[in-house]
Amino acid sequence: MGRRDRMAMGMGFVGGLVLGLAGWSAQIERSRRDLFARSPVRRMAALGSLRGRPGLRTARLLAEYVEWEPRPALRRRGERMLARMQADLE
């Protein structure tokens, strides 16, 4: 394998990594918006997505969501997630 081939493979790897990170970031942002969507199914999916993103910013967002959520089952799920996240952050 020549130097040119190795360079092309390296560039392809870095390009794929950058595109993957951009797509992942966009998906996370979409999930945060969907947390306040009209559809309860979208809100449930957004909760699942945020579950894997512990942090202070996510905890604040969940606190706002819990106060806003009109459906008791989704509110309870958000409360449980928030409690676990707060325990992990302490």
Q: What is the pLDDT of residue 24?
A: 63
According to DSSP H, which parts of the chain are helical?
Answer: 3-34, 40-51, 56-68, 72-89
- Give the model confidence (pLDDT) of 18-48 as tens digits: 777 676 666 666 666 788 989 898 898 888 8
Whole-prediction pTM: 0.64
- Give the model confidence (pLDDT) of 1-17 as tens digits: 788 888 878 888 888 87
Q: What is the pLDDT of residue 11?
A: 84
Q: Kindly list the distances between the CA atom of residue 79 and the CA atoms of 16, 17, 82, 88, in Å, as whole numbers in the listed order.
A: 37, 35, 5, 14
Q: What is the pLDDT of residue 50?
A: 84
Sign of CA dihedral 43, 48, 53, 54: positive
